[in-house]
């Protein structure tokens, strides 16, 4: 390898003073955190530099002997998967055989796999019956639940579990209304004691007007909860640096706000959401700000793994119809992302050929 004014050529050995990896005769410079950026089955990921394709398969929970890999449009012989190294910028397709074809597009968080990419809340509905009907219409498999004191004055008061069966729908206890790390941690410790939940949603707010997250307290709570065995999905600002710190602290999912909670303004900064998606090694879900179906579709088109919403459905004129609309929007946005949108151009490009015009 030799140095030119604008970079390195690959015809000579790598100089000893250059930090990087030489894989398959090609020089690969990892990111500062020792990772490389790749695309796997349409999903952007960052993985450890120096990983073989077989090692990547193992990290993804796959058996190398039972898969086929296409790397940058070329099929890699299965016998060489352990020898071919993952390189920055690789575009990988990994397939296996399934009975009768498989169109399922699931996602996984903390070892649990779900088909629906829509998570809904359980507040602001007229009653629990309407809430349960909206959950069914949305197709959601996860609902967020607030942890509140038991109504000891009325033991016959209805409970959410009477309407939404926690054996069929995954409950995600959250810390809505907590303004410091201590109260959030206490709340989730009680939630685990009450229902055994370790997968939780952490939300530490900074102040009541904007309901923006306090990132100092959020990061501190994430570290403590992760050390205690919790698997926190964390509500946060749309800052790719802050989200990476949360991931390193033990967050199993990153949940940046699209806009202030309950505002219905839609995603206000698509650029930062996309940056978070590209840099994350855990699922990314837009949390807060969705107002209508098109907002949910935008989040999915940006490559998010899912969307969490409550007010957009609960305060719609017809919550059940809106729940169905949100289900369709999340699914269509996800399909559009997987399909890959056309490139954007500054000028017109006719659909019909101009040659042969009369």
* Residues taking part in catalysis: 201
Query: Quick one: which of 292, 296, 342, 248 has its CA closest to 119?
Result: 296
Q: The tokens 């709340």 sit on which residue? A: 187
Tokens matching residue 346: 């500054």
Here the contacts of 38-45 (C-beta below 8 Å, separation 24 or greater) are 38/86, 38/87, 38/88, 38/89, 38/90, 38/91, 38/92, 39/90, 39/91, 39/92, 40/92, 40/93, 40/94, 41/92, 41/93, 41/94, 42/337, 42/338, 42/340, 43/303, 44/277, 44/278, 44/303, 45/281
d(CA 59, CA 345): 39
Phi, psi of 48 (to 5 degrees): -65, 135
Q: The tokens 């903390």 sit on which residue? A: 110
Q: Please give the helix or strand (H or E) that residue 55 lies within, else none.
A: helix 53-59
Q: Could you report how far apart the first and last alpha carbons of the chain are, in Å?
A: 58
């Amino acid at each position: 390898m030799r140095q030119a004014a604008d970079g390195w050529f690959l015809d000579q050995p790598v100089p000893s003073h250059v930090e990087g990896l030489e894989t398959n005769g090609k020089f690969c410079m990892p990111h500062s955190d020792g990772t490389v950026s790749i695309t796997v089955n349409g999903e952007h990921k960052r993985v450890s530099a120096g990983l073989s394709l077989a090692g990547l398969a193992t990290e993804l929970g796959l058996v190398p002997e039972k898969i086929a890999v296409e790397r940058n449009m070329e099929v890699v012989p299965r016998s060489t998967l352990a020898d071919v190294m993952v390189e920055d910028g690789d575009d990988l397709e990994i397939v296996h055989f399934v009975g009768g074809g498989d169109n399922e597009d699931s996602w996984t968080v903390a070892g649990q796999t779900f088909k629906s990419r829509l998570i809904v809340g359980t507040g602001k509905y007229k009653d629990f019956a309407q809430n349960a009907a909206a959950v069914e219409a949305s197709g959601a498999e996860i609902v967020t639940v607030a942890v509140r004191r038991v109504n000891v004055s009325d033991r016959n008061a209805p409970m959410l579990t009477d309407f939404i069966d926690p054996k069929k729908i995954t409950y995600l206890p959250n810390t809505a209304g907590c303004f410091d790390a201590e109260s959030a941690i206490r709340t989730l410790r009680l939630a685990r004691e009450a229902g055994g939940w370790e997968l939780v949603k952490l939300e530490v707010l900074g102040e009541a007007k904007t309901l923006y997250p306090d990132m100092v307290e959020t990061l501190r709570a994430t570290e403590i909860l992760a050390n205690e065995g919790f698997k926190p999905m964390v509500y946060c600002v749309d800052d790719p640096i802050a989200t990476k710190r949360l991931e390193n602290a033990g967050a199993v999912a990153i949940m940046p706000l699209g806009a202030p909670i309950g505002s219905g303004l839609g995603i206000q900064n698509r650029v930062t959401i996309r940056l978070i998606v590209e840099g994350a090694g855990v699922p990314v879900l837009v949390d807060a700000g969705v107002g209508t179906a098109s907002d949910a579709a935008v989040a999915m088109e940006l490559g998010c793994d899912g969307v969490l919403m409550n007010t957009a459905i609960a305060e719609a004129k017809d919550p059940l119809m809106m729940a169905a609309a949100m289900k369709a929007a999340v699914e269509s946005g996800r399909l559009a992302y997987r399909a890959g949108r056309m490139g954007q151009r500054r000028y017109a490009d006719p659909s019909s050929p101009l040659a042969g015009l009369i």
